[in-house]
Chain A
Amino acid sequence: MNGGLLLQGVAASYGRRQILADISCPPLPRGEVTAVLGPNGCGKSTLLKTLAGLLPLHGSVTLDGQALGALPLEARARHVVYLPQSLPPALHLRVVESVMVAANATGLGLASRHAAADIDTLLARLGMAELGMRYLDELSGGQKQLVGLAQALIRQPDVLLLDEPLSALDLNHQCHVMQLVAEETRRRRMVTLVVLHDLNIALHHCHRALLLKDGAVLACGQPAGVITPATLASVYGVQSRVEACSRGRLNVLIDGVIA
């Protein structure tokens, strides 16, 4: 058995306003990337925050059979890392330090000399080896987003939750980051959930897709089975086609909005 992340009857609310209701899906295996899709306000970020322990969890979430909901925040953070949608703020803090903070904030115990070396390797993999000694307040939005990703990866989680990690990146970096996320997910045998708006990136780079509508699961499974004209019409209200290009890769083509 491969293990993985199992969500059963997950619900979440802000005060009295229920955002997620009865989110269940087949186990999300280790080593695979799942795209979390859906329109604005459907509960994608809420789902990630709930899994990370930032919001109270109702229902059951298990990783390889271990209940994550029973773990206190600090213990859960050793298994689960959440990268928020917001960019790291413009602080007068070196990039190397901002990544080191992620490793040391709750005592993962990387000694500073080793941490700096590990961070060097990680920054190089992210294509930002030259930026290690720069201050965060000197970086562009895209560079800060990459720093955020480095902060998440340095914690070596079992479950990696990325909330729109591509929103500030150019095309080159979007492809590069998704390849890297898939590679790291496979190499470290993580379960990765990534909130995306670009359906083609989900089709090309993710192993699975979880499509939400109004706080509930509309479809879950292989991206090609989830991203269909019918589901896109239901969730986004658009007319679309999903067609293979000359290289055989599926692409979503939007024809217009359903009146």
Chain B
Amino acid sequence: MRAGQASLAGHAPAYQALQWQRLLWLALWAGVIVLSLLADFTLGPAGLSLGELWQALQLEGDATNHIIVWDIRLPYALMAVLVGMALGLAGAETQTVLHNPLASPFTLGLDQAAALGASLAIVLQASLPGVSGPWMASANAFVFAMGSALLLDAVARRARLSGNGVVLLGIAMVFSFNALVSLLQFVASPEALQSMVFWTMGSLSRANWPVLGLVAGALLLVLPLSLRSAWRLTALRLGEDRAQSFGIDVRRLRLASLLRVSLLTGLAVAFAGTIGFIGLIAPHIARRLFGEDHRFYLPASMLIGGAVLSWASLASKNLLPGVIIPVGVVTALVGIPFFVSVVFRHGERA
């Protein structure tokens, strides 16, 4: 490249073509989710043919199939997609606002905070005023995840921590919450201990239509807000000084983003327990395929998160005949090698 010698390349048409290509990729990932849902219904010992599935969806044919599809398999499968979407989107925003590829709600301790909240409800029956019964654990999980995000933000602001400092603080919180959960496990009754396993391993078995409505509602609320901040979040990736010089209030942007993240994570963990690594994996795949223009990167992370958890859920039900492995175990088994590969890749750059 020599200054002043290059001619006008005319990137506008190429850029328009790239936009269309990315939209096509988004549609493809949506297609991967649909395929996963179809596989979910047709595989396994109680698998239905596509014809039976179509009939059951229209409430025709065998009444047992209606119950299997509408009350068991559809909520379970959709829960995997929605929770995966929530964690994928939350992970993408977390990595952006903390400038760290290893940041995710899981590595910042939001999941563990939610598990602690749930454990308090299960073991000590401690919950918010006015909340009772099966909602106690979920309400606590949500409040603890949100509180943890706010605490993280407040300490980071007060101590003027960088993105890496926030991640280290998050890791400290992970260990603290894990220790407290272990303490509760130590004093828990055998019945309570069994319930707590649900939170620590992650499971989609609590899926039902009201819960699906809540998670879907949160996504419908958060996604437009995230997309509205897409340019600002992309600018933040260019560096804080640069983002501020474009007129962005970085602190406000970061706080709003962490609140969105804690809402999504809190709800996901409240109803599905601790499902790690989706928030880490999905943004990385999205970044490689779509780049870091957040107008595409955010919805892509969301769709990829939904697809990955959906396929993980499928694997958890079909790997061992007759046994449903907790889906959090499957995502951890896939996620840990991925996590290590990210560490090595960034180590090479440094």
Contact = CB atoms under 8 A, between A and B. Distances in A.
Interface of A: 49, 52-54, 73-78, 81-84, 86, 88-94, 96-98, 101-102, 104-106, 112-113, 116-117, 119-121, 123-124, 126-133, 135, 143, 148, 151, 155, 172-173, 175-177
B5 interface: yes
Given A127-B1, A127-B5, A127-B6, A119 B11 contact: yes
B246 A121 contact: no
Nearest to B252: A73
B245 A116 contact: no
Between B18, B245, B349, the greatest number of chain A beta carbons within 10 A of the residue's beta carbon is seen for B245
Interface of B: 1-12, 14-16, 18-19, 231-232, 234-235, 237-239, 241-249, 287-288, 291-293, 349
A196 to B, nearest CB: 18
Contacts of A82: 241, 245
Contacts of B4: 127, 176
B6 A105 contact: no
Contact of A105 (B19, B232, B349): B232
A133 B11 contact: yes
B182 to A, nearest CB: 39
Between B234, B246, B288, the greatest number of chain A beta carbons within 10 A of the residue's beta carbon is seen for B246
A75 B9 CA distance: 33
A128 to B, nearest CB: 6
B245 A54 contact: yes
Nearest to A49: B241
Given A83-B245, A127-B4, A172-B3, A104 B231 contact: yes
Contacts of A151: 238, 242
B246 A77 contact: yes
Contact of A96 (B11, B231, B246): B11
Nearest to B287: A92
A88 B245 CA distance: 13
Contacts of B9: 120, 123-124, 129-130, 132
13 contacts: A84-B239, A84-B242, A92-B291, A94-B291, A94-B293, A102-B246, A120-B11, A124-B7, A124-B8, A124-B9, A128-B6, A172-B2, A176-B4
B174 to A, nearest CB: 27
Given A104-B231, A116-B12, A131 B1 contact: yes
Contacts, number: 143
Between B12, B16, B287, the greatest number of chain A beta carbons within 10 A of the residue's beta carbon is seen for B12
A133 B292 CA distance: 13
A90 to B, nearest CB: 8
Contacts of A128: 1, 6
Nearest to A84: B241
Contacts of B248: 73-74, 77, 105-106
Contacts of A120: 8-12
Contacts of A116: 11-12, 15-16
B238 A106 contact: no
Contact of B291 (A49, A77, A97): A97
Contacts of A76: 247
A54 B231 contact: no
A105 B11 contact: no
B235 to A, nearest CB: 4
B250 to A, nearest CB: 10
Given A116-B12, A116-B15, A127-B6, A89 B239 contact: yes
A126 B237 CA distance: 23
Nearest to B246: A105
A88 B247 contact: no
A105 B247 contact: yes
Contacts of A133: 11, 14-15, 18
A133 B231 CA distance: 18
B247 A54 contact: no
Given A74-B249, A84-B242, A105-B232, A143 B6 contact: no
A44 to B, nearest CB: 15
B238 A73 contact: no
B241 A78 contact: no
A88 B237 CA distance: 9
Contacts of A129: 6-9
B12 A98 contact: no
A21 B291 CA distance: 44
Contacts of A98: 238
A127 B293 contact: no
